[in-house]
């Protein structure tokens, strides 16, 4: 179903002018939006704008042209399963998105290929992710809390370790 969002309510001067944008929604999606709008006492367009803004906040580094390598890890750890499955991201595409030109001597650290494979697997069933995670990290992988172990692995290796190394220099 083609649904037209043409309400400009809620735009502030700092955001600039709003534009009309059309998108296709299923009847089920539209019913959920209507129910949410009714419950909140808001317009359907306001609910859709909220969903878009919320998603854009969650993935903000993806629209920052300077974000590469380690700085993209939090996005893919927190939203990876959704992103990899919805956009059908495989290891090669993740490498282009995350590492991009980080290996051209510009000083930005790269995410290892095995770790990109683990991110690509994050949308799979937990036993498969658990097995790959154990292969990369010999100990400390909790069998019954794979998402937490995955988060811990990436944050410890790329986020906390890299900031500790910077502090130690």
Model pLDDT for residues 114-157, shown as the tens digit of each residue: 889 888 887 666 666 667 776 766 555 556 666 777 788 888 88
Model pLDDT for residues 42-93, shown as the tens digit of each residue: 999 999 999 999 999 999 999 999 898 888 999 998 887 889 888 999 999 9
Residue 9: CB atoms within 10 A of its CB come to 10
Q: Are 112 and 132 in contact (CB under 8 A)?
A: no
Q: Are 45 and 21 in contact (CB under 8 A)?
A: no
pTM strictly above 0.85: no
């Amino acid at each position: 179903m083609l649904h037209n969002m043409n309400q400009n309510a809620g735009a502030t001067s700092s955001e600039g002018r709003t534009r009309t944008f059309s998108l296709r929604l299923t009847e089920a999606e539209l019913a959920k939006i209507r129910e949410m709008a009714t419950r909140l006492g808001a317009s359907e367009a306001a609910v859709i704008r909220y969903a878009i803004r919320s998603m854009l906040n969650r993935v903000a580094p993806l629209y920052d042209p300077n974000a590469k390598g380690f700085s993209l890890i939090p996005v893919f750890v927190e939203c990876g399963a959704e992103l990899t499955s919805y956009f059908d991201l495989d290891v090669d595409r993740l490498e282009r998105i995350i590492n991009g030109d980080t290996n051209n001597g510009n000083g930005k650290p790269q995410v290892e290929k095995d770790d990109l494979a683990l991110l690509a697997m994050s949308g799979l069933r937990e036993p498969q992710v658990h097995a790959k995670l154990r292969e990369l990290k010999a100990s400390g992988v909790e069998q019954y809390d794979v998402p937490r172990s995955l988060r811990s692995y990436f944050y410890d290796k790329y986020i906390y370790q890299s900031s500790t190394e910077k502090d130690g220099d």
